[in-house]
């Protein structure tokens, strides 16, 4: 009888630190959606300008630095790189809160982007070395679902902080926990053995050039199409999350704080439940066939698209009040959209860990993270913003509703891509 791989208990401790750190940095992105209205008012900015600052400026720098950050993680201690980048991320976020104009705010967001570009590739590479392939689905799903915690804190607690103390306090609120987390990582985290769980024949030399690594990864067709599908998924997710709070304010006539609390608590909580469920369900189904790593994202994307479109077209009608907060009837569909939104990323990233060499993992995740960030954090806030401005002369305050429907419709692209991969037999071998 073959001996089952044993995961060191320290692996779970480090994974928890990585999840908390990712939640904290992502909260810095999500809290921007609550700041949109007060920043627009203070600096007299359009939706297009806000979309550039909240997304495009961030994404350009993220993309420019991400590949090199990923390569550094393939060569040097990932835990040390994480700790240093998180520390500098905190200082840059505080700098954003001190902004006296749009240019200074954009510069602060770009510094944040440069520091954040190393975190996800290094973290996912670490998780891949902490757990054997058969046990990666749950921790990777939990890590990829960490933004749900950010949504809860960033949009609900963050909305309260911003409503009572101003949008600048929101940045200080985001920076504090990451400052603490960077010190904990620096003092306690130990670097695991690279490629520990991989067959020796699968290990490649770790000193190849960046260009050589990129060539190997891009020529992997399954890897290429999988990364492309996650990029479109990120675009749809960021479009919805970034503009959902302003949508409730404009189309459902809610107060900013109430809208932020609703989006944070309802969308965040349901997405967290979906993440916990899909992490368990993916691991369970992988026992029978790895094709479920593709089937689950297909199902999730379809159901999420249906629920989101119905939510966006729902009329402004209040169902009931909770603690003085008016809850629109449309939030029922938002609950379903939040739950199914967690279905696509975790299984996709789990499949990605099996497609490349351990010494190319950080670079691979850097490519995935860059493309996802450019499409998501970059174009996600920007495209709905510019569409909203273009549609305003025709639809007025309802322009954002139709801008979001157009943006969310791009979820059809990953459905088609993943369907093609499944039809071609990608990932169908039994685990």
Sign of the CA dihedral running 99, 100, 104, 109: positive
The two three-digit tokens of residue 220, written as one number: 């992997």
> Could you tell me which residues come within 8 angstroms of residue 24 by beta carbon, excluding any fewer than 6 positions away?
150, 174, 177, 178, 181
Other CB atoms within a 10 A radius of the CB of residue 108 amount to 22
The runs of H, that is alpha helices, within 263-360 are 268-285, 292-313, 331-340, 345-353
Write down the mean pLDDT value for the chain: 84
**CA–CA dist 390, 92 (Å, integer):** 33
Q: Which CATH number fits domain 11-193+208-423: 3.90.1300.10, 2.120.10.30, 1.10.260.40, 1.20.1250.20?
A: 1.20.1250.20
Percentage helix, strand, coil for the chain under 3-state DSSP, each rounded to 5: 80, 0, 20
> Partners of 322 in the beta sheet?
325
Is this prediction's pTM over 0.85? no
pLDDT for residue 430 is more than 50: no
Residue range 323-336, pLDDT digits in tens: 888 899 999 999 99
pLDDT tens for 44-92 read: 888 888 878 877 788 888 888 877 777 787 788 889 999 999 999 999 9
Phi and psi dihedrals of 48, rounded to 5? -65, -45
CB-CB contact of 105 with 53 (8 Å): yes
Alpha helices in 316-411 (DSSP H): 331-340, 345-353, 361-373, 379-395, 399-408
Note the pLDDT of residue 75.
81
- The pLDDT, as a whole number, for residue 244 is 92
Q: How far apart are CA 148 and CA 19, in angstroms?
A: 11
Phi, psi angle pair for 424, to nearest 5°: -80, -5
CB atoms within 10 A of CB 66: 28
β-pair partners for 318 = 328
Residue with token string 């009572």: 164
At residue 197, the pLDDT reads 67
């Amino acid at each position: 009888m073959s001996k089952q791989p044993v995961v060191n208990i320290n692996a779970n401790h480090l994974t928890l630190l990585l999840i908390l750190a990712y939640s904290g940095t992502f909260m810095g992105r999500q809290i921007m959606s609550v700041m949109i209205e007060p920043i627009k008012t203070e600096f007299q900015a359009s939706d297009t300008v806000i979309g550039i600052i909240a997304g495009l400026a961030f994404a350009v720098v993220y993309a420019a630095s991400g590949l090199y950050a990923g390569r550094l993680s393939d060569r040097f201690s990932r835990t040390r790189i994480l700790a240093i980048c998180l520390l500098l991320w905190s200082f840059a976020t505080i700098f954003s809160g001190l902004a006296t104009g749009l240019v200074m705010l954009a510069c602060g967001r770009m510094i944040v982007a440069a520091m954040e570009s190393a975190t996800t590739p290094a973290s996912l590479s670490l998780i891949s070395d902490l757990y054997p392939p058969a046990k990666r689905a749950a921790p990777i799903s939990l890590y990829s679902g960490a933004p749900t915690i950010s949504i809860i804190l960033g949009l609900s607690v963050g909305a309260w902080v911003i409503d009572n103390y101003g949008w600048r306090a929101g940045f200080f609120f985001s920076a504090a926990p990451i400052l603490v987390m960077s010190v904990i990582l620096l003092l306690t985290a130990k670097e695991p053995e690279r490629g520990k769980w991989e067959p020796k024949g699968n290990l490649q030399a770790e000193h190849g050039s960046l260009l050589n690594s990129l060539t190997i990864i891009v020529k992997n067709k399954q890897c290429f199409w999988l990364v492309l599908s996650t990029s479109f998924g990120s675009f749809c997710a960021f479009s919805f999350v970034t503009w959902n709070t302003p949508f409730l304010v404009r189309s459902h006539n809610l107060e900013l704080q109430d809208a932020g609390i609703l989006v944070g608590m309802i969308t965040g909580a349901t997405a967290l439940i979906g993440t916990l469920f899909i992490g368990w369900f993916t691991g369970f189904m992988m026992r029978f066939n790895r094709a479920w790593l593709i089937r689950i994202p297909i199902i999730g994307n379809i159901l999420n698209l249906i629920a989101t479109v119905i939510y966006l077209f729902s009329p402004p009608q209040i169902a009931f009040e909770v603690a003085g907060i008016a809850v629109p009837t449309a939030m029922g569909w938002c609950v379903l959209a939040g739950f199914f939104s967690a279905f696509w990323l975790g299984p996709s990233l789990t499949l990605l860990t099996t497609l490349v060499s351990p010494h190319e993992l950080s670079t691979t995740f850097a490519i995935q993270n860059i493309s996802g960030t450019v499409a998501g954090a970059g174009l996600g806030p920007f495209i709905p913003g510019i569409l909203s401005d273009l549609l305003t002369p025709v639809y007025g305050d309802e322009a954002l509703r139709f801008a979001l429907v157009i943006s969310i419709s791009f979820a059809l692209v990953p459905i088609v891509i993943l369907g093609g991969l499944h039809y071609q037999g990608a990932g169908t071998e039994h685990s």
